[in-house]
Amino acid sequence: MTLKNLLKSLSVITFVMGCSMIFPVITGIVYDEPFLPFLLLMLSVLAVCGAILWGLRHHNANLNVREGAFVVTSIWLILGVVGALPFVFYGATPSFSDAVFETISGFTTTGASIMSDIEALPKMLLMWRSAMHWFGGMGIIVFSIAVLPMVGNGALQLIKAEGIMDEKLTPHIRDTAMALWKVYLAFTIANALLLYWAGMLPFDAINHAFSTIATGGFSTKNDSFGHYAHNDAIMWITIFFMVISGINYLAHFKLLKKDFSGYRTSEPRLYLQLFFAISLLAGLMIFLHQPQQLGFYESMKHSFFTIASIMTTTGFASIDYVDWTNAFLIFTILVMVIGGCAGSTAGGVKVIRYVVLFKALAVEIKRMVHPRGVYVMLMDNRKITSGILTAMLGFFALYFCTNAALTIYLSMRGLDLTTALSASLAMVGNVGPGLGLVGPMDNFSFMAWYDKLILSLAMVIGRLECYTFFLLLSRSFWKRF
């Protein structure tokens, strides 16, 4: 672990983050808002990072596993503090910890907010929230496809083992990143144009496209997509883009080469099956049991929107479902835990791990009947080694232990079980809203400053897929430095 390696990597990421400040600055200029502090912040960030990068221009930073894990964890301290400064400058948040929470929530694409009146904010800050999502989302795809397999996390190792990476994508981070970046950009532009076509104002269309493609969840409206719930085109366009944003980007990348095979693998197939099955069932539950009688089509529309929003861990809300029938609420919790596909911006456990889990259980049960049989676990015709299997099952354990610890903490802070459990799943799964006191039309502002910092940490742990973070806490990580 050399200081130069760390410094260079951290500076590159911070530099790109600085670049993304161009969006709020332009917004400030267009809407005649006091953009000067924002511009100065951006220029300072670019200047400092630029200077470091210039100084280290001859240094070739090839990170090893430890350095990689250290960089992707410690970068959140920089992002959290620097990204929070605009909120502090413009007095948008009552305290610094609130600003940090909002920022971490932005960059992790969680989308949980401490703001109660979003529409009263300067448009610059609204754009900054969306831009953080968008920048964060791109970073997460690169991280999960290029960095995670190195760290040995099961899910992406499997994709690597599947050979998608070495066949179709170049192994270098930079080239991979550029390729994915084009797909990400194309989706965002398509989404924004379609939203504009369907009747959204350009500013809202761009913000919501940023937020949707990153499966972020920050909106420019106080009641999120409740504002657009009457506009069927906007609703279904958003459902469509949320759903595809939850699919592995390597599959999308193949699509651009007219190769549909990426969608036919086990993970996206199960993901889409689950999405349709749960949306239909949950819609039926609303239609049958909801006292305020939405009608069949409206029930289905809101069900598809909500399930898409929570399963892809976007967190938009088209309606306040926090007091709805228990059957619907349990489905929202279920899809929070499932999450989207690995290699997308979605959080949660990820569908691929359930695919492997169910295959492993089937083999275990077979093994009990015929203990001397030899069993090979296959996924998409490729072998799941016992190493990958153990890493995956370990992830489940780590994920649920993290959630158990956070739920216990929040309960000890006085929250009821529904709020504590759903808040925990919403933070570690990078969903955003939970149930109870932290429902889709509520926010996290009522919590104490240290609760907000702990929740921020939970968002980061979830975003780093647990292992990467807990790696840093282990003794063996720090040995022999």
Compute the distance between CA of residue 289 and CA of residue 236 in angstroms, rounded to an integer.
24
Contact 271, 340 (CB under 8 A): yes
The reply, when asked if residue 216 is annotated as ligand binding, is: yes
Q: Is 73 annotated as a binding residue?
A: no
Binding to K ion, residues 414-433 (CB under 5 A): 432
Q: For the window 148-167, what string marks contact with K ion as x by the rule CB under 5 A?
A: --------------------
- Of 16, 251, 312, the C-alpha closest to 136 is 16
262 vs 439 by CB, closer to K ion: 439
Closest CA to 79 of 14, 143, 141: 14
Query: Should residue 83 be labelled a site residue for K ion when binding is judged by CB under 5 A?
Result: no
433-to-310, 384, 411 alpha-carbon distances in Å? 9, 35, 17
Tokens 């275990």 label which residue? 364
Full DSSP string of 331-342: HHHHHHHH---T
* Least Å from the CB of residue 123 to its own copies: 39
Contact assessment for residue 320 and residue 329, using Cβ atoms and an 8 Å cutoff: no
Say if CB 428 and CB 400 are below 8 A apart: no
339 is in an annotated binding site: no
Q: Which does 424 bind (CB under 5 to 8 A by kind): its own copies, K ion, none?
A: none
Residue 177 contact among its own copies, K ion, none, beta carbon within 5 to 8 Å by kind: none
Q: What residues numbered 459-478 form the site for K ion, per CB under 5 A? A: none
CB-CB contact of 127 with 23 (8 Å)? yes
64 labelled binding-site residue: no
Q: Which is nearer to K ion, 52 or 235 (CB)?
A: 235
Give the Cα separation of 224 and 107 in Å (integer).
19
Position 262 contacts K ion (CB under 5 A):
no
Torsional sign, CA 391, 397, 399, 405: negative
Q: Is residue 248 helix, strand or coil?
A: coil
Contact 382, 395 (CB under 8 A): no
- Residue 217 site contact among its own copies, K ion, none (CB < 5 to 8 Å, cut-off depends on kind): K ion
Cα torsion for 461, 114, 433, 25, to the nearest 10°?
A: -80
Nearer to K ion, 28 or 315 (CB): 315
Q: Which does 453 bind (CB under 5 to 8 A by kind): its own copies, K ion, none?
A: none
Residue span 353-382 as binding mask against K ion, x where in contact by CB under 5 A, dash where not: ------------------------------
Q: Which two tokens stand for residue 67?
A: 């350095």
Is the Cβ of residue 35 or residue 399 nearer to K ion in the bound state? 399
Beta carbon nearer to its own copies, 201 or 330:
330
Residue 231 assigned as binding residue: no
Pull the structure tokens for residue 172. 């270098």
371 binds, among its own copies, K ion, none (CB under 5 to 8 A by kind): its own copies
Nearest distance from C-beta of residue 363 to its own copies, angstroms: 9
- Closest separation between CB of residue 109 and K ion, Å? 5
Rounded to the nearest whole angstrom, what is the least distance from the CB of residue 112 to K ion in the complex? Answer: 8
Which letter does DSSP use for residue 429 in this model? T
- Least distance to its own copies, CB of residue 356, Å: 10
Q: By C-alpha distance, which of 362, 167, 169, 339 is closest to 249?
A: 169
Q: Binder to K ion among 80, 86, 111, 429 (CB under 5 A)?
A: 111
**Judged by CB, which is closer to K ion: 262, or 432?**
432
- CA angle, 275 as apex, 180 and 455 as ends, to 5°? 70
CB of 289 to its own copies, least distance (A): 8
Task: Figure out which of the listed residues 246, 315, 439, 440 binds K ion, where binding follows CB under 5 A.
Answer: 315
**Residue 64: both structure tokens together:** 């090893």
109 is in an annotated binding site: yes
Exposure string over 212-247, b if 16+ CB within 10 A, otherwise e: bbbbbbbbbbebbbbbbbebeebbbbbbebbbbbbb
**Minimum distance from CB of 477 to its own copies (Å)?**
5
Would you tell me which residues interact with its own copies (CB under 8 A)? 65-66, 151-152, 285, 289, 325-327, 329-331, 333-334, 357, 360-362, 364-371, 386, 389-391, 393-394, 396-398, 400, 404, 407-408, 411-412, 414-418, 420-421, 435, 467, 470-471, 474, 476-477
Specify which residues 379 forms β-bridges with. 382
Residues 195-234 that bind K ion (CB under 5 A): 217
Q: Point out the annotated binding site for K(+).
A: 109-110, 216, 313-314, 430-431
The binding site for K ion (CB under 5 A) comprises 110-111, 217, 313, 315, 432
